[in-house]
Amino acid sequence: MFAPEMLAVWLSPVVMALFGLCVGSFLNVVIHRLPRMMERQWWADAGLQIGDADSWQRTFGKAAPKPLAATATQVQAELEALGPMTLSKPASTCPSCGHRIRWYENVPVLSWLWLRGRCSACKTRISARYPFIELLTSGLFAAAAWRFGPEPVTLAWCGVLAVLVALTAIDWDTTLLPDSLTLPLLWAGLVAACLGWTLPLSTALWGAVVGYLSLWSVYWFFKLATGKEGMGYGDFKLLAALGAWLGWQAILPIVLMSSVLGAIVGIGLKLTGGLRQGRYVPFGPFLAGGGVVVMLAGTARVLGWIGQ
């Protein structure tokens, strides 16, 4: 076991802020690559399905057209030509010129400032969102250290915050909430409760159940009433995961805070012209934001804000 004095240093807001900068740099990779990895897997699955003549026969009751086999072969060949992609491979490069990013060009925030937000080779502009994600993660880690104190469980809460940052950016970009992030977040919340780190297990379990079923019910009510889908299944899983970490009592405050955040952002986009008519705005980022507010402020305080 670590001595309390050591924990007070290593889990202090300052040290956790620095750790958050490094984690934020990794999250930029996750945000950029994970949706592309998912799309490649979908195309691989589609290619296998297209080339499955037996499945075609079972489904349509006739032999598969010959061009389908050629299409399946082409999809496989195109994917193989791309080369492997994981969170660690290939090495990071400039998307404009292919310049391989050196280690000293990848220091969180400082490298972006030193490079003046441009590629060192072709001078193409580098999005300011990269240092923003790093600073956001740093600030959230420091806030978690302040909120939960120098306890090992603070690292678990920082892990939750890191996943929420990644989910927010991915959903905003692609309207996707990857199962590879939401489901481990859900199970980790239940395991943390089982180990006695956060909530009683029954509270965490019912938090997951109430979180999932609440949005699932809204989804089906809206679909039956309008014939349209108002949200995706990823939103159900995200709120279930937040319920597993924060308990069923936090579900209403999370939804209310997410609605407030959504309204603020929506008004801002409308005023700045960023919200085009008919554009779909994902709900996941606001659910994540509501979860962060409840996590850091506490359920009782948020309920007080809304007069409960």
**What average pLDDT score do residues 130-144 get?**
98
Task: Report the C-alpha gap between 146 and 8 in whole angstroms.
Answer: 11
Domain boundaries, the chain: 1-150, 152-305
Which of the two residues, 98 and 307, has the higher pLDDT score? 98
For residue 184, the Cα-to-chain-centroid distance in whole angstroms is 12
Residue with tokens 């945000």: 31
Q: Which of 180-189, 265-274, 283-292 has the lowest mean pLDDT?
A: 265-274
- Considering only 106-110, 190-194, 264-268, 289-293, which range has the smallest mean pLDDT? 264-268
Mean pLDDT (the chain, rounded): 92
**Residue 229 pLDDT level (bands cut at 50, 70, 90):** confident
Give percent above pLDDT 70 in the chain.
Answer: 97
Q: Which amino acid is present at 149? A: G
Between CA 300 and CA 303 the distance in angstroms is 5
**pLDDT, position 276:** 57
Distance from CA of residue 42 to its chain's centroid? Answer: 19
Q: Would you state the structure tokens that stand for residue 153, as one six-digit string?
A: 């469980």
DSSP state of 281: -
| Cα dihedral 84→86→90→92 (10° resolution) | 150
Q: What is the mean predicted confidence (pLDDT) over 228-236?
A: 88
Give the pLDDT mean for 208-235: 91
What is the value of pTM for the model shown?
0.94
**What does the block give as tokens for 264?**
């603020």
